[in-house]
Structure 1
Amino acid sequence: MLILAFDTATDVATSALLDDGEVLGERASVAKTLLEDVDALFRQASSRPTDLDALVVGTGPGSFTSTRIGLSVARGLALALGIDGAGVSTLDALAAAADGALPVIDARRGEVFVPGGAAVPPDEVDARGRLCVGDGAVRHRDVLEARGGVIPPDDDVRHTPRAAVHARLATGFGPVDSIEPIYVRAPDAERWRA
């Protein structure tokens, strides 16, 4: 089964092409170059989009705009290719990359996204003795370490929600247009309008 997976919820967008669980290629860049990365993955694997059997997309939480980019690309590709897909939480993918890891995604506004569907100040995260991974752990290293957390070096791969992990976690493939993003809070535009 040939699967294309990608996650654009954080500052580092990742994509991967897998064939029956074997990683044929992986890329990391930014959300706005996702289609270029996907094209490069297909060329690297000597494959074509019409060979795809399914898609896996990261559902966030993370940047509202970046998450929408990933879901829009997934919906467009699924519609054009007539394939199913699955959504995987960015937090779940980060947690699965290291045993016992606490995923912490930068939520901006002085907050972080953590498991349980919450955006909280980093000084409210129970990090005692936990391996904290994600861009929120990097950004709020001092606070989390003061709360007993262990944070790998900034350039450690465990801080990036790798698309290959998303593909391995995916279950329940179905219509891509039914995949819902995990926003946790309203977008800034809604706050400003209110």
Structure 2
Amino acid sequence: MLILAFDTATDVASSALLDDDEVLGERWSTPRTLLEDVDALLRQASARPTDVEALVVGTGPGSFTSTRIGLAAARGLALALGIDGAGVSTLAALAAGAEGALPVIDARRGEVFVPGVGAVAPEDVAASGRLCVGDGAVRYREVLETRGAVIPPDDDPRHRPRAALHARLATAFGPVDAIEPIYARAPDAEQWRP
């Protein structure tokens, strides 16, 4: 099965094309260039969009706008191609890329997203003795390390979500418009609503 997978929840967008479990190509860029990356992956594999049989999209948590970019692209592609898809948590994919790691995503506003808790202050992360990966671990390295975390160098690939891992974690495919994002808190605009 030819699967197109992507995640745009963080500042580094990831996309991948897999034939069953074989990675045909993988790219990292920014959420705004997602469709360019998809086109490049298809060309690299000598595949046409109509060859894609399923989609996997990252559901966050992460940037509200970036997460919406990924979901909107997945819905548009699924509708145009008549295919199903699956959603996979960005935190789950980060954790799968580093066995035993605690994924930490920058939530902005001085907070991070971690599994099971939502958005918390970096000093409230139970990081003692844990390998922490993700852009939140990089941004709040000093705070997390003083709490006992082990954090790989900033350029370590374990800090980036890998769309290929999203595809491998996907279990149930269905209508893409039923995939729900994981926001973990209200969008920034909500705090200004009267």
Q: What TM-score, normalized by structure 2, do the two folds share?
A: 0.99
The size of the alignment, in residue pairs, is 194
Equivalent position of 1:42 in the other structure: 42
**One-letter identity of the residue aligned with 1:85:** G
Equivalent position of 1:162 in the other structure: 162
Return the offset for 1:193.
1.1
Equivalent position of 1:65 in the other structure: 65
Equivalent position of 2:76 in the other structure: 76
Return the offset for 1:190.
1.5
Q: What TM-score, normalized by structure 1, do the two folds share?
A: 0.99
Secondary structure at the aligned position of 1:17 is classed as strand
Equivalent position of 2:193 in the other structure: 193
Per-residue CA deviation, residues 97-138 of structure 1 (Å, 9 max, x unaligned), is: 111000000000000000004100000001011000000000
Distance in 2 between residues matched to 1:117 and 1:77, nearest whole Å: 32
Distance in 1 between residues matched to 2:23 and 2:88, nearest whole Å: 18
1:21-170, aligned counterparts within 5 Å? 21-170=21-170
Secondary structure at the aligned position of 1:107 is classed as strand
Equivalent position of 2:8 in the other structure: 8
Equivalent position of 2:173 in the other structure: 173
Secondary structure at the aligned position of 2:191 is classed as helix
Distance in 1 between residues matched to 2:165 and 2:50, nearest whole Å: 23
Secondary structure at the aligned position of 1:42 is classed as helix
Compare 108-117 and 130-139 and name the one that shifted more.
108-117
Secondary structure at the aligned position of 1:9 is classed as coil
Return the offset for 1:56.
0.1
Q: Which sections of structure 2, spanning at least 5 residues, go unmatched?
A: none
Percent of aligned positions that are identical: 82
Return the offset for 1:189.
1.2
Structure 1 stretches of 4+ with a deviation exceeding 6 A read: none
**One-letter identity of the residue aligned with 1:108:** R
